Amino acid sequence: MSCIAAVSGADLVPHDIVQTQKTVFQALIDARARFGGRRPALVDADGRVLSYDDIVRAALALGHSLKQGTKRGDAVGIMLPTSVAAVVAFFAVSAFGRIPTMLNFTAGPAGLISSLRTAVVKKIVTAHRFIDIAKLDALAVAVSGVTKTVYLEDVRDGLSILDKAFAGIGQFVPKLATAHPSYEAPAVILFTSGTEGAPKGVALSHANLLANIKQVDLHEKLYTSDVLLNPLPTFHCFGLVLGVLTPLFLGIKAVLHPTPLRPREIVQRVKETAATILLSTDTFLSQYARAAEPGDLQTVRFTVCGGERVRDETRQLLRKKHGIEPTEGYGLTETSPLAAGNQPWINRPGSVGHLLPGMQARLEPVDGIPDAGRLFLKGPNVMLGYIKPDHPGVIVPPEGGWHDTGDVVAIDEEGFISIRGRQKRFANVGGETVSLAVVENCASALWPDHAHAAVAVADGRKGEQIVLLTTNPKARRESLIDWVHDHGVGEIALPRRIVCADSIPLLGTGKPDYVGIENAVRAAAVGG
C-alpha cells in the first residue's frame, strides 16, 4: 500500500541510546547513585515516604522470597492498586529476572483469567487489604483456581534471614545479588485496554521502557524540583511508565494515589503535596477541575493528558477556573507508551503535538477519509510484540518493526499530529464515512455537563446507523439537529437514535468501554 505521508522525530544520539541498554532494576540503582539513596522518591496514599534506599532494600528482600517456585523468564502477575506496594513488587519481580505482568483487576474474572493464560502467569502477587477494600473476594477466588496467589502480608511476615541478608548485601552490591537479563529481553507484560475487544498481551523490553523515558526527558522540560501526582493504574502503561518509572529515573518525587475516581481526594492531595505535574485523562481531569475551587490547583504547571481526546469544554473550564492549559499527548501500550506530545511552550489545542525523538511515522490511505491516513509507528520504544490468547506465551513482533496503530491521523506541514479517530471508530452510513468522534464532539459541545459516546450498529438500509449513548436525560435529537445546522456540521454526523443512561461504561483506565457501550445500546433497543 502506498504511503501518503511520512515524518520523523529528532534523532537520538549514541549517548542517549547507550543509556537505554540496561535493565530497569539497574536503572533504579543508577538513579539512586545519581540522586542519592536517602532522597525521597515515592509518597503513598497514607503519606508514607520511601527513599531510593528503601525501594532497593524492600525490592531485594521481597524479590528473593517471591522467586521461589518460578524460574528466570517466568511471568509473575502483580494485582495491586497504584501504591508503593505495587512499585516495590514490580522491582522485586524484575530484580531476579522474572517478568512483572501487570493485571487489570477491573477486567472481571473472565478477562483476568484470559490474561493469566495468555501470559502464562506462574503466580500472582496481591494483598489481603487490597482485596478486602476493593471487594474483590470473588475475583481472588476465581484466579486462585488458575494459578498460585501470594499475599504481601504473608510474604512480609514470613521473610527469612536469607531474604533479609540478600537485601542487606544487595543494597551495596546489587550486581552480586540480582539477575542480569539482556536489555532486549521482556521487562514487563501489559495488556491492551480492551476498548473494542479482548485484550492482548504486550511485551515491552527493558530498552523499550528506558528509551521512552529518555524520549520524554528530551521532549519535555522536567525538573528534579517537580512533584508528580499519579492517580492512574499501574496496570496501564501510562500509569506505570510515565507515572512511576519516569519520575523515579529522572529524580522527580512521585505521589501515588490508588484510584482516579475520587476527584475531591485528588484535589486535596495536589494541595497537600504541592504537585506541579498531574497525570490524567480528559474524563478525570474534567472531574478534578469541577471539584476544585479556584486556587486549589495553583501549584500545577503541567497536566499530561492521554488516553482520549481533550475536549474543548475541559480546556475552557481549566483556563477560566484554574489558569491551566492542559498538555495533550498520544500514546499506546505498544509504544511504551508515549509516541507524540505537545509541550508547554509549543501547545496546539486539537493536536497531540510532535513525534518524540527517535520515532518515525508513516500514513497509509484510508478509503473515504481524505487528507489523513492510517498511522504506522517505528522506534526504539515500539514493543517486542503481541502475546495473543490463541498462542499463549509466544511474542509475535511487529512486521518490519512497524506498529499498525489502527488510528487515522493527519500530519500538517509543521509536524503536528491530529487524531481523526480509530479506523474502527468510523461508521459507513449510506456509503459515506463518518467519524464517531465527530458525533461525540457535537454532543459534548451542545451538552457539556454530560458524558457521551457514539457507536455504529448494523442497518439493513444504510449499512450502519449511529447511536448516541448519553447521560443527559433531556437529550433530544431535535436539539442536536438544530445545533448541527447552526454550526455547519453535515447532517450525516447526526445519530439515528439517542439512548439515555445513568453513566457511560468506562474501563479502569478511564477510557470509554465501547464493548460495554454497544451492549448498553443493544439492551436499550431490546427493552424499547
C-alpha cell at 387: 502475546
Distance of CA 170 to the CA centre of its chain: 32
| pLDDT score for 370 | 85
In whole angstroms, what is the distance from residue 259 CA to residue 269 CA? 12
Residue showing cell 503535538: 353
In whole angstroms, what is the distance from residue 16 CA to residue 10 CA? 12
Backbone phi and psi for residue 101, each to the nearest 5 degrees, phi listed first: -120, 110
| pLDDT score for 387 | 97
The SS3 of residue 411 is: strand
Helix (H) or strand (E) run with residue 8 in it:
strand 5-8
In whole angstroms, what is the distance from residue 188 CA to residue 91 CA? 11
DSSP 470-485: ES-TT--HHHHHHHHH
| pLDDT score for 136 | 95
In whole angstroms, what is the distance from residue 230 CA to residue 233 CA? 8
Backbone phi and psi for residue 91, each to the nearest 5 degrees, phi listed first: -70, -30
DSSP H helical ranges for 121-205: 128-133, 137-144, 152-157, 161-170, 174-177
Note the residue count of the chain: 528
In whole angstroms, what is the distance from residue 172 CA to residue 170 CA? 5
| Inter-helix orientation angle 24-35/84-95, to 10° | 120
State pLDDT tens for residues 207-235: 999 999 999 999 998 999 999 999 999 99
Q: How many Cβ atoms from other residues are within 10 Å of residue 492's Cβ? A: 15
DSSP H helical ranges for 323-394: none
Backbone phi and psi for residue 252, each to the nearest 5 degrees, phi listed first: -105, 130
With contact defined as beta carbons under 8 Å apart, do 63 and 95 qualify?
yes
Q: What class is the 52-182 domain?
A: alpha beta
**Short-list 250, 205, 197, 202, CA closest to 94:** 205
Helix (H) or strand (E) run with residue 433 in it:
strand 432-435
In whole angstroms, what is the distance from residue 27 CA to residue 388 CA? 29
| pLDDT score for 165 | 66
| pLDDT score for 161 | 76
- What's the pTM value of the predicted model, to 2 decimals? 0.85
430-527, CATH topology level: GMP Synthetase; Chain A, domain 3 (3.30.300)
For the chain, domain boundaries? 52-182, 430-527
Distance of CA 412 to the CA centre of its chain: 26
In whole angstroms, what is the distance from residue 45 CA to residue 269 CA? 9
| pLDDT score for 423 | 63
Q: Which residues of the chain have pLDDT under 50?
A: none
With contact defined as beta carbons under 8 Å apart, do 131 and 140 qualify?
yes
State pLDDT tens for residues 496-522: 899 999 999 887 767 788 878 888 888
Asked if the domains at 52-182 and 430-527 fall in one CATH topology, the answer is no
The answer to whether the peptide bond before residue 380 is cis (omega within 30 degrees of 0) is no
DSSP-assigned letter for residue 356: P
C-alpha cell at 355: 513525534
| pLDDT score for 461 | 63
| pLDDT score for 432 | 66
